[in-house]
Structure 1
Amino acid sequence: DSLSVIYQMEVGYDADGDSSATFSTRNSFLGLGTQVGKIFAGRYDSVVKLAEGKIDQFNDTVADMDTVFLGQRRNSNSLNWESMDLGGIVVRAQVAPGEDDVVGSVPNTKTKDGLTDTWGLSATYKQDALYAALAYEKSYTEVAVGPLGVGADLKTMRGSLGLNVSSNVALGAIVERSNLDPYGGADGDLMSYLLSGKFGVSERVALKAQAGMLDSSDLDLDVATLTLGADYKLGDFTTAYGLVSASDTDFDPAGTINDVDESGMAFSVGMIHKF
């Protein structure tokens, strides 16, 4: 009675044909539910990504927080453990082997072949109106610089705090510190920040606002975003939305001539149906 099989298959579908792959693997796993929690293997969100909770008011839209956060990762070949609910506290752990991944471009490459090339730990607390989380992950990534892929080790720590002030008002904040250590280069720290808010003006209409920032003096990089939007509830499972988002990017590393100083605007309308 204390043992169960758990599974999930989540697939992304490219409806307009812009992607090179029509289907993509999202959170998919097979595992066991036990007295000590859930144990499962597959492709799954990192513990840092899961720590965002529902604070990102524009999740899975053009204004998603991943524009200013490095920790929004979904890891393949992962083994995961999620504890039982311990009075509102849930602990998570994840490891993933590199499986001989070659990261970077010649001559600065590394082959990841360890059992724990990616690993992470987190703790979340959710009770009534309060949500809080702290998460850490050590992994690796590849950053495109011109025609080359620069490999780097990546360490990320995230703290999240969400508060439902009332049934109509929600506020949230996320702070993330990342360390990017390129193969063959000097490492650099990056700080990411997010502030979000949602205000329900009626039973059907909610107004939303969100500001995000990525700042790194080591890399001479600054990215800032500001988004305003509104939701209109069409039914219990269906919501229409609209948003407008402004962004500004300043990338001016020492010793380069192709500096980036750009601003942009995005407008989006859409509909979400949950089933």
Structure 2
Amino acid sequence: MNKKLLTLAVAAALATPAIASAEAIMYGRLHVSIDYVDVTNAIAPVANYLPANQGNPSYWARNGENLGVVVPGVAGPVGAVAVAPQQVGGGSDFTGWGMTNGYIPRNAPVTGAGGGRASRLGVKGNEDLGNGLKAIYQIEFGINPTDSNNDLDNNADAITMRNTFVGLGGDWGSFLVGRHDTPLKMSTGKLDLFADSLADNNTTVGFNDIRADNVVAYISPSFSGFNFSAAVVPAGGSNVLGSQNTEADSINAGWSLAAVYSNGPFYGSLAYESLGYELFNTNANNFGCAVNAASCTTSDTDWTKWRVGLGLLNWNGFSLTGIYENHDNIAGSDAYTSGSYDGVTWYLPGGPQKADLWQVQAAYSFGNSMIKAMYGQAEFSSDDLVPQLGLSPLAAQRLNDVYEGNRDTWGIGFEQNFSKRTKAYALYTDVSDDRADWTAGSEWSGFSLGMIHNF
């Protein structure tokens, strides 16, 4: 090869980009449990929340006030209407066995009897881009061994999307775009010793964790145990329920921040999250409500949350964790219905406006075994809840229970680790709720036997 050809060959080689090294791994977890649940199956009140009056075919009512039995041919009181008797509260319980996500039986109105088991299958990896920069990615599916709708013919929810994203990483941290847990959710993930089980703190106490679509997030590296993360959630034209909202155009309709300290057994976190009202509106209720409208479903306030987590993790076998969370303007609470009584107009919010939630957990490990326990409460309140004129005593009690009520929950458990990747457990949990007589499935208890294998 002459000198000219050699020079051209070297130049071509230098101009050709090197093939970057890359690696990818497949991973997963299978979590199966057999559960027994006992659910209080209330019959929710309707119309004016009148007390049961099964001995009469119908009676006169005015704004929830029982005014007497309808007498054929006799006019009722001024402003009264005839309504059929209604049964309020009571109902029958449901008890039964099931497997994993399929323990909720067909037609049983259970509102959150335990979280999903979070079985999953995923692929993640990175590509070295040179100069300390790398591309990162993850595709993760949720796998439900049984169908939570208890529908043997249509397992439409057997495969779900979990954290799936693409991004860049380096010594400066990670930047990613896609579907991902918000920083508030990540901030206390290590503090729930009953996570992804029948006693998960989201569906017992009621902590609100979100895995959002369209997330743009940054996660810092650790600085002597400290790290922080931030994320914004563009509105994207659809709300959190999957309905369309074509007026949603904010790039930061939702945003979340978290700071975490994790060093040895000590753990602490502080997080704040705001979910903009655009995320809860649809085309149908996008343009507000008419003045003096009898009801309104439009949201016009942001749902905000802040959370504090503290933990002492695996200190000489002991673990102790605590989480506190505050909610303001809970989604849907700024919707309302209205009415009037004796010339006075009243408004009823769409649900509790505020909540204070807390939980403590404790565990002790000995050998390959662990015993653990938890207790937590949720306290609801509503600033705009005013005395509702003309309501029966039963209706007044319902308002207090639904808008100002409390929830208490506790649980105990035992774990046996067969290896670093395989363990079995047994647990029992109980949830009591002031809304038990009004909201079907809000009060329940359950026992669970489960096994988890990571691969």
- Tell me which residue corresponds to 2:209: 72
- Change in Cα spacing, 1:244 to 1:70, as seen in structure 2 (3 Å) is closer
Say which SS state the counterpart of residue 194 (structure 2) adopts.
coil
- How far apart in 1 are the matches of 2:280 and 2:186? 21
- Post-superposition CA distance 1:135-164 (Å, at most 9, x none): 000015659xxxx98756310100000113
Is 1:98 aligned to residue 235 of structure 2? yes
Q: Does 1:156 align with 2:305?
A: yes
Aligned to 1:121: 257
**Are positions 1:233 and 2:417 aligned together?**
yes
Going from structure 1 to structure 2, the CA distance change for 1:271 and 1:36 (only over 3 Å counts) comes to same
Q: Going by fraction, where is strand more abundant, 1 or 2?
A: 1
Alignment match of 1:213 (pick from 344, 358, 377): 377
- Once residues 427 and 189 of structure 2 are traced to their aligned partners in structure 1, the CA distance between those partners, rounded to angstroms, is 21
Q: Give 5+ residue unaligned stretches, structure 1.
A: none
Partner letter of residue 59 of structure 1?
Answer: A
- Who wins on radius of gyration, i.e. which is larger? 2
Is 1:33 paired with 2:174? no
The answer on whether the counterparts of 1:220 and 1:251 sit within 8 Å (CA) in structure 2 is: no
| CA drift at 1:33 | 0.3
Query: What are structure 2's unaligned runs of at least 5 residues?
Result: 1-130, 150-155, 282-295, 337-348, 383-402
Q: Cα–Cα, structure 1 residues 170 and 149, in superposed 2: closer, same or farther, change >3 Å?
A: farther
Report the AA paired with residue 158 of structure 1. R
C-alpha contact (below 8 Å) 2:428/2:446 kept by paired residues: yes
Maintained 8 Å contact 1:101/1:113 = no
* C-alpha separation in 2, matches of 1:24 and 1:5: 25
Structure 2 distance, partners of 1:174, 1:138, is 18
Are positions 1:190 and 2:355 aligned together? yes
Contact 1:3 1:32 in 2 (8 A): yes
SS of 2:316's partner is coil
In the superposition, the TM-score normalised over structure 2's length comes to: 0.54
Q: Aligned letter for 2:214?
A: N
Distance, in Å, in 2 between the alignment partners of 1:238 and 1:261 is 33
Do the aligned partners of 2:165 and 2:180 also contact (CA within 8 Å) in 1? Answer: yes
User: Is 1:12 matched with 2:161?
Assistant: no
Does structure 2 conserve the Cα–Cα contact (< 8 Å) formed by 1:103 and 1:112? Answer: no
> What do you get for the CA RMSD once the two structures are aligned?
2.6
CA displacement at 1:184 relative to structure 2: 3.6
- Per the alignment, residue 52 of structure 1 pairs with 188
CA contact (8 A) 2:305 2:328 kept: yes
Shift of 1:262: 5.9
In the alignment, the residues of structure 1 paired with residue 409 and residue 311 of structure 2 have an alpha-carbon distance, to the nearest angstrom, of: 20
Secondary structure at the aligned position of 2:448 is classed as strand
Which residues of 2 match residues 137-176 of structure 1 at below 5 A?
137-140=273-276, 153-164=302-313, 166-176=315-325
| C-alpha distance in 1 between matches for 2:165 and 2:133 | 17
Classify 1:44/1:153 alpha carbon distance in 2 versus 1 (closer, same or farther; 3 Å).
Answer: same
Distance, in Å, in 2 between the alignment partners of 1:129 and 1:102 is: 40
Q: CA deviation at 1:268?
A: 0.5
Indicate conservation of the 8 Å contact 1:101/1:111, yes or no: no
Q: Which has the higher contact order (CA 8 A, sep 6+)?
A: 2
Determine if the alignment matches structure 1 residue 243 to structure 2 residue 243.
no
* 1:34 CA drift (Å): 2.7
Q: Which stretch shows the higher mean deviation, 57-66 or 148-157?
A: 148-157
Number of aligned residue pairs: 262
In structure 2, the CA distance between the partners of 1:15 and 1:126, relative to structure 1 (3 Å rule), is same
Q: 1:184 to 1:245 in 2, by over 3 A?
A: closer
SS state at 1:62 partner: coil
Opposite residue 18 of structure 1, the aligned amino acid is S
State yes or no: 1:273 paired with 2:429: no
Give 1:22 deviation, angstroms.
1.9
Report SS of the residue matched to 2:329.
strand
Report how far residue 225 of structure 1 moved: 0.9
Cα 1:102–1:53 shift into 2, 3 Å: closer
Partner of 2:270: 134
CA distance in 2 between partners of 1:102 and 1:126 (Å)? 34
Q: C-alpha offsets along residues 29-54 of structure 1, whole Å, 9 cap, x if unaligned?
A: 11000342100011111111111131
Q: Distance in 1 between matches of 2:442 and 2:452?
A: 31
Structure 1 length normalisation: TM-score?
A: 0.86
